[in-house]
Structure 1
Amino acid sequence: MRRRLPSIQALQCFEAAARHQSFTRAAQELALTQGAVSRQVAALEAFLGVALFRRTPHGMALTAAGADYARHVRQRLDALERDAVDVMGRRGQGDSLTLAAVPTFAARWLIPRLPDLAARQPGLLVHFETCTRPFLFADTGIDAAIWAGTPQQVQQWAGTRATHLMDEDVLPVCSPRLLPDGQPVTPEALARMPLLQQNTRPEAWRQWFDAQGVDAPQAMAGPRYELFSMQAAAAIAGLGVALMPTLLVQDELTRGALVVACPRPLKAQRAYYLVQPEGAEREALTRFKAWLIQLR
């Protein structure tokens, strides 16, 4: 059956006009005339049978349907562009995989190990995107995600199945200049020091102090950071003590940029998982997953 699809040019014109809220600026971006953009959008509205824009006293604005459609069109055009760039880059050779990953884990643990994957699977390319929270695979071009979470959180990620990769130990670390005489401190002393917080793990310090049997009223106080790499940088700068997964700060500990503030590691409630959508598995993902599992 012939697909009922609008033209790519009409979608590009609509997406640009929706993003700029202006046919004129969309035309400038696309190197077209304002009239050409207007005609393409009008043709798209006629094809859909839905008004995508409405006139306002100050120009034009998206309708509710237009705003929703623009979001989906932008995602699809981005995916088409990625696919085209991927094919051009590979020139028809080998296979590729798009992986969403927790940024610091990817940068500090996974990517340094990719030369081994390249040696074992020279035709397999791995592209990376950022992932800090669950998302809908159907809305992306992502094949799988490496994600840190609790078993309960993984089970609640709808439409997916997960492979356990490794557990995680966390340890208090800080700049050596924060420690008196350069020596580790007790949990009681640590409770009085400035604590750095992780946005995605607001209970982490409280859980650590509870495991030590220490009352810490300020366990959830302190500046919050989105990424562990930011938290590590803040700790190196002397802003406070960070509760970091040990596998993410090995280099800093070896160099002495960070030191152990209190030698009491704790097995975190979270672990690292390879999460993928339910259904058929691409051969590229099968090969990558087999390599990843043998690293555990």
Structure 2
Amino acid sequence: MRRIPPLAAVRVFEAAARHGNFTRAADELGMTQAAVSYQVKLLEERLGVPLFRREGRKMVLTEAGARAAPQVSHAFDTLNAAFARVRAEEEGVLVISTSNTFANTWLAWRLGSFQMAHPQMGVRLNTSDAVVDLEGGDADCAIRSGRGNWPGLTADLLLTIDFTPMVSPEFLERRGPFTPADIPHLPVISPHDPWWPVWLREAGVEVAEGPARPGVRLDSQALEGNAAIAGQGIAMLTPFFWRRDLAEGRLVRPFAQVTTRGFGYWFVAPEGRRNVHKIKRFREWLLDEIKRERPQPV
């Protein structure tokens, strides 16, 4: 077990010994000269030996103080270097947590442009539908789906989550035009998706209570959208994520109806770290990118 005197007092001694002056030490540490004198006295009492002696109006190191001062300064240099490396590593890598859907349908396609704009910063993207502990340091920031009410976190709305059925042109041609009432009798991708009964009921289709009918469960819009493009069935998708595939004809929307329930994708970060340089830069880039691509109301 280490028998180290109080580090606050040791820090004051190191500054006073380095400057050779209690006043300059106090200025460096943001303390009063009286507080410096008090901390030095505490340290001397703890060690049982004087570290400074008065010569006229000056305070000079005693023999014991002169022996200790270089080693203490070296120890503080070592601590400073260790924490400087930690700070550099902390600032040098941005860890982002987000869902598989948001990562694979939007963020992963664009994240390289952020890193290229900030070449001094590494970026690591953790994709999982689990909610990570941002305050505990599992990631620097996250993009989450929900209503934006996470205690201890600041939240910026990126986009509203809406949804509508989509299919490939080949599927539509093969199955012919169909109505919402026909959907329960057609191949549906991820029929367990809770948005299916919501959308169908808004479309005027009676949906029986109980478990969803059997089907392929994919658990990610990225997978569901690609399965729909491959002609495997009807998928419930968010138009924003698939607008390029819609524009280029890989997907079609059989119905104009789009449903939402007040959920959205949010950028979130711990309240106390919102303005950390790397988090702030990413937040600004993300909001600009979303604003540029999000359809504007007419």
TM-score by length of 2: 0.58
Q: Alpha carbons of 1:131 and 1:276: their partners in 2 closer, same or farther (altered >3 Å)?
A: farther
Corresponding residue number in structure 2 for 1:204: 195
Contact 2:229 2:250 in 1 (8 A): yes
1:176 paired to 2:173? no
Matches within 5 A, 1:50-129: 95-118=92-115, 120-129=117-126
Deviation of 1:181 (Å) = 6.0
Corresponding residue number in structure 1 for 2:187: 194
| C-alpha RMSD of the superposition | 3.2
Matches within 5 A, 1:216-227: 216-217=207-208, 220-221=212-213, 222-227=215-220
230-239 or 164-173, which moves further after superposition?
A: 230-239
* Counterpart pick for 1:141 among 138, 147, 150: 138
TM-score by length of 1: 0.58
Identical positions, percent: 28
Consecutive unaligned residues of structure 2, counting only runs of 5 or more, are 3-84, 292-298
Structure 2: distance between partners of 1:254 and 1:208: 23
**Match of 1:133, as an amino acid?**
A
Deviation of 1:138 (Å) = 4.5
Corresponding residue number in structure 2 for 1:253: 246
Aligned residue pairs, count: 204
Contact 1:96 1:126 in 2 (8 A): yes
Corresponding residue number in structure 2 for 1:230: 223
Q: Alpha carbons of 1:193 and 1:162: their partners in 2 closer, same or farther (altered >3 Å)?
A: same
Consecutive unaligned residues of structure 1, counting only runs of 5 or more, are 3-86
Corresponding residue number in structure 1 for 2:155: 162
Bigger Rg, which one: 2
Deviation of 1:139 (Å) = 4.8
The SS at the match of 1:145 is strand
The Cα offsets for residues 21-70 of structure 1, whole Å up to 9 and x where unpaired, read as xxxxxxxxxxxxxxxxxxxxxxxxxxxxxxxxxxxxxxxxxxxxxxxxxx
More strand by share: 1
The Cα offsets for residues 178-228 of structure 1, whole Å up to 9 and x where unpaired, read as 3256765321222332222277xx420111112212213389433322211
Runs of 4+ in 1 over 4 A off after TM superposition: 91-94, 180-184
Structure 1: distance between partners of 2:166 and 2:271: 39
Q: Alpha carbons of 1:268 and 1:212: their partners in 2 closer, same or farther (altered >3 Å)?
A: same
